[in-house]
Amino acid sequence: MASTGQAAAKHLGNDDYALSRVPRDQRFGFWSMLLQWLAQSGSISQFTLGATIGVGMTFGDAFLAFTLGAVILEVVIFAIGLAGMREGLATPLLTRWAGFGRNGSALVSFVLAVSLVGWFGVQNTIFGESVSALAGGPAWAWCLAAGIAITVLVMFGFRYMAHFAKIVTPLFFGMVAWSVTSTLMDHSLTELINSPPPGETIPLSVAATAVAGGFMTGAIVAPELTRYNRKGSHVLLQTGSSIVLSEYIVGMVGVLLGHLVKSSEVSHIVLSTSGAFGVLVVLMSTAKINDWNLYGSSLGVVNFFQVVFGKRLHRGAVTIGLGVAGTALSAVGMMAHFTDFLSLLGVTIPPIGGILVAEYWLVRRMRKPLDDTRESGTLPASSPTWVPMSLVIWAVAFCVGQFVDAGIPALNSLLTAVVLYCVLGRLGLVRPYGTSELDHEVGTATRRGHSDGESETTPIGAV
């Protein structure tokens, strides 16, 4: 007879290896993972971003802005995502051995969890208000419906999210291609490409910032997805395909639509030409993007509670709590008041990626335990407790991103973190202090109840 704890865990969904490596035999094939990445490009908001840039830039200048943003994003996503694939670890757990130590990873987890669940609520608010305007009914009711649906999906974990992507991604891009093609066929592409910007000019740095900064948080938490990859080449091809689709195809089509309607309000083109089916597909694609906000937040909370309180929470149960909170706040309209705070938090996230990349790929003073245990699929027996200099570097990089006006803020803070960590690390000033033993429940879960009284140990995530 299975234990009560095991049964409860099953009822609460999947733990998805929240505090352990994803085993090699539990990883997904190329096409399943590709659809997950392409699903992140399936958003009406990306068309709106392209149109916003198109209103203030020529087609050629907009292409350059998207190129700068795309290159920055791909470098960051691949560097961080490849680390996640190699280790089979999500960002909160990976940072224990990649720059921050055990206690520092709790701070990273807190920032990521608050930011991601906050944006989950904000996106859910936008979702509810948009559907209310299109289909009628109170916005709060649509917020509740969407929030509950996404929470249930994320509760059951990565495998179900992958199945959902297989349905939504082809439908979204097929529907959008038909709508946009139908609209643009009645106009000269040559004239649209060569037309002057219809609005106030947008500087190249501002446009590139909008492109790169808009997805920088997603780039930092790329390991949440890539830990399920089998090969590094898959990570490169999948992330590159997602960037090409979102920036060069979706984004640049948005630029053309912006020149066409001379406004950034282009979502009605897709929605008005595709009917009720199109609205349904757009809603599903929005849910497919927002599920990753809730998923990443749940992983951060699990690591935070394990480090700070010594409590091993089940990711499924955490998802329910976060989903209920984010949904409730979005339904009552509270999330709109937190956007400034969430934007400030967003500036704190790029340095996390900078420190992670610098330590894992360049300095490598703390990576050896990961190297030693990678083949066995286990976690190192211990981790550094604190890395104080990393916190100093994080604070300095945040200030650069927040207060230096020149350049791209997200990139400024990330590069500052990389450079400072590399220089100080080579000088021997980045030193871990203390050693924390890995708690038993992080790597394994014990099930009892066999007739012979023996216990069976299974990897966390298998339930």
Q: Which residue has the tokens 């969407």?
A: 146
| C-alpha span between 375 and 25 (Å, rounded) | 13
Can you give the length of the chain in residues? 463
Among 224, 115, 116, 82, smallest CA distance to 161 is for 224
194-209 tens-digit pLDDT: 888 888 888 887 888 7
d(CA 331, CA 125): 7
Q: What pTM did the predictor assign?
A: 0.88
Assign 262 to helix, strand or coil: coil
- SS3 of 110, please? helix
Q: What is the mean pLDDT of residues 26-33?
A: 95
Residue 24: which pLDDT band, with cuts at 50, 70 and 90?
very high
Angle between helices 44-56 and 252-261 in degrees, nearest 10: 60
Query: 322 with 293: CB under 8 angstroms?
Result: no
pLDDT band at 250 (very low <50, low <70, confident <90, very high): confident
Q: Which residues of 143-181 are buried (b: 16+ CB within 10 A; e: fewer)?
A: bbbbbebbbebbbbbbebbbebbeebbebbbebbeebbe
Residue 234 has pLDDT above 70, yes or no: yes
Single-letter amino acid code for the residue at 136: G
Confidence at 271, pLDDT banded by 50, 70, 90: low
Structural domains in the chain plus CATH codes: 21-347 (1.10.4160.10)
Query: d(Cα 349, Cα 123) in Å, to the nearest integer?
Result: 19
Q: By mean pLDDT, which of 78-82, 187-191, 444-448 is the weakest?
A: 444-448
387: pLDDT confidence band, cut at 50, 70 and 90? very high
In the 8-state DSSP scheme, what is residue 196? Answer: P
151 φψ region: left (φ > 0), alpha (ψ -120 to 50), beta (else) = alpha
The confidence score (pLDDT) of residue 272 equals 60
- 141, 125 contact by CB (below 8 A): no
Single-letter code of the amino acid located at 278: G
Count of CB atoms within 10 A of residue 11's CB?
A: 10
For tokens 């690390």, the residue is: 425
Average pLDDT (36-62) is: 85
Confidence of residue 8 (pLDDT cuts 50, 70, 90): very low
**How high is the pLDDT of residue 444?**
42
Instruction: Please state, as a whole number, how many other Cβ atoms lie within 10 Å of the Cβ of residue 6.
Output: 16
pLDDT band at 443 (very low <50, low <70, confident <90, very high): very low
pLDDT of residue 454: 33
